[in-house]
């Protein structure tokens, strides 16, 4: 993982297949679930991506840089991925 970036442990799934970056926080989640909840994510994930844009330690997973705060994205993803959030 690149220096200066931190994983959000509660929203870092080892078998996740996409990494979302908000500020300096990384979230590893599932493309298909994100796409099911949002047409925007569905469209975004249909675009080609390059492994060259993935951070070190991302295991070649697609990286999506978000323009939201890490706190806002954590809450959004929490509703989707954490039961009873």
In a domain, 60, yes or no: yes
Number of domains observed in the structure of the chain: 1
In a domain, 57, yes or no: yes
In a domain, 1, yes or no: no
In a domain, 16, yes or no: yes
Q: What is the pLDDT of residues 28-49, one digit of tens each?
A: 999 999 999 999 999 988 888 7
Yes or no: say if 37 and 54 are a contact pair by the CB < 8 Å rule: no
Q: What is the pLDDT of residues 61-83, one digit of tens each?
A: 788 999 999 999 999 999 999 99
Q: Which domain holds residue 12?
A: 6-81
The answer, as to whether pTM is greater than 0.75, is yes
Ramachandran region, residue 40 (left: φ > 0; alpha: ψ -120 to 50; beta: rest): alpha
């Amino acid at each position: 993982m690149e220096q200066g970036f931190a994983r959000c442990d509660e929203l870092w799934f080892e078998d996740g297949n996409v990494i979302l970056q908000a500020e300096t926080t990384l979230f590893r989640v599932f493309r298909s679930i994100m796409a099911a909840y949002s047409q925007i994510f569905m469209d975004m994930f249909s675009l080609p991506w390059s492994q060259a844009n993935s951070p070190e330690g991302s295991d070649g997973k697609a990286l999506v840089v978000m323009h939201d705060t890490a706190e806002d994205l954590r809450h959004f993803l929490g509703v989707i991925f954490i039961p009873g959030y």
